Structure formats: C-alpha cells, structure tokens
Chain A
C-alpha cells in the first residue's frame, strides 16, 4: 500500500518560532510537493522538488523554505512562524514523467500559530 506520511497531524506553535514539517514517502517517487489548503482557496503550491537537493518555488513560497537531503524525505520549514501561516499543510509525491499523473497525498498537518 502506497504511503505518504506526515510527521504530525496537529501542531500549535508560537509566533516567531522556527517550525519543521516532515514528510516521508515509501514509493521511490522523484517528485515531492508541499501545498497549503485554506477554505475557499483550495490547494496552493508552496515548493516542490523533482530530485534530491533540487527545489523549485511554487506559487506562494514567501516565508517558507524546504530541504530534500534524501529521496524519500521532504521537509518544509517556516523560518519565523506568523499567524497568517495557520493552515492545513499537505505533502504529496508523484513519479516523474509519463507515470506521474497521480499525486499521492499525506493526511495533512493542521498548524495553528498563536
């Protein structure tokens, strides 16, 4: 059974804290993605990576950074958390190229910044 695992389901952090969200996939996928989901806005792409140590900015990268040191792991970092980063964060992975139509998602991390 394919799996994308996010380290936490719920997180509460204080304004200004550095926050790490971890994602691991066991499908040997090249692509990994971080989205945030907000009511009425759908999923918006923060960053994605198509290979180890490679990263590309998505549509809303400001205030975030990422790290991909191993193929199976993709981390999202909030350098200094702010209340407007309160959201549901979703990690996904997919194959590169013609086999990559389907993106598999994790369960999501609901982050609250207070």
Chain B
C-alpha cells in the first residue's frame, strides 16, 4: 500500500464549479502538507502548504488537513479553464525534508 493515496481522476467540471481534491495517508509522522500544481510538460509548482491540522485559504484555494483522519483536501472555488492541470499532494515529516507525493489528480475545467 502506498504511503499517500490520491484518486487519479480525471475530474471534469464546468467553469465556475467547485473542485474538490483529496488525499489520504498512512504515516502519522507527516507534519507538513502541500499541494502542487503541474501543467502539461512543466515541473510542479507549489500552490499551498499547511503545517499540522487546520485550514488555510489563499484566494480561490482552500487547503484542509485532518490529522486525526489522515486526510487532506484542496478546494478550488469559481474554477477557471486555466485551473486545468494535474494536482499533486505532498507531505513531509519536517520542513526542508524529502517529500512523499500522491499519484496526482488530473483536473479539466471546461468553458
């Protein structure tokens, strides 16, 4: 079993809809939780990170971490065609430590 599980999708939504992404993990030592966005033929880029449990909001993006359930989520409000990408969750035990990634979810936002 993988340490971090993520539904591969693809997830297809109409423009303006809320996109809901999630990951589950098995290692309770993870303390830092990140979401990366990867456009086709590009390297991943960091969207958001959260330390321990809680919520974090940045514009249209909200990240949630529930350590008791070992479950993290990313919500994208008012989705745009430019949000079409692969979204990867990642986790680490400490800041600056190696990252363990989920498999990525491909998202397609249709105009």
Interface residues of A, Cβ cutoff 8 Å to B: 4, 30-31, 33, 35, 40-45, 48, 58, 90, 92, 94-103, 105-108
Whole-angstrom distance between the alpha carbons of A100 and B46 in the complex? Answer: 12
Whole-angstrom distance between the alpha carbons of A108 and B44 in the complex? Answer: 9
Whole-angstrom distance between the alpha carbons of A5 and B76 in the complex? Answer: 30
- Shortest Cβ distance from B3 into A: residue: A59
Other-chain contact of B8, A31, A40, A95 (Cβ < 8 Å): A40
Whole-angstrom distance between the alpha carbons of A90 and B45 in the complex? Answer: 12
Other-chain contact of B96, A40, A58, A90, A96 (Cβ < 8 Å): A96
Measured between beta carbons, the chain A residues less than 8 angstroms from B98 are: 33, 45, 48, 58
Other-chain contact of B95, A35, A42, A90, A98 (Cβ < 8 Å): A98
Other-chain contact of B46, A44, A96, A103 (Cβ < 8 Å): A103
Q: Is the CB of A106 within 8 A of B43?
A: yes
Q: Is the CB of A41 within 8 A of B43?
A: no
Q: Is the CB of B34 within 8 A of A105?
A: no
Measured between beta carbons, the chain B residues less than 8 angstroms from A94 are: 96
Q: Is the CB of A101 within 8 A of B101?
A: no
Interface positions, chain B 59-111, Cβ under 8 Å from A, are 88, 90, 95-104
Q: B30 an interface residue at 8 Å Cβ cutoff?
A: no
Q: Is the CB of B95 within 8 A of A100?
A: yes
- Give 3 nearest A-B pairs by CB, closest first: A100-B96, A105-B43, A42-B103
A42-B43 CB under 8 A given contacts A58-B98, A97-B95, A98-B95? no
Q: B6 an interface residue at 8 Å Cβ cutoff?
A: yes
Sample (12) of A-B pairs whose CB atoms are under 8 Å apart: A41-B103, A42-B4, A42-B6, A42-B102, A42-B103, A43-B90, A44-B101, A45-B98, A94-B96, A97-B95, A99-B96, A101-B34
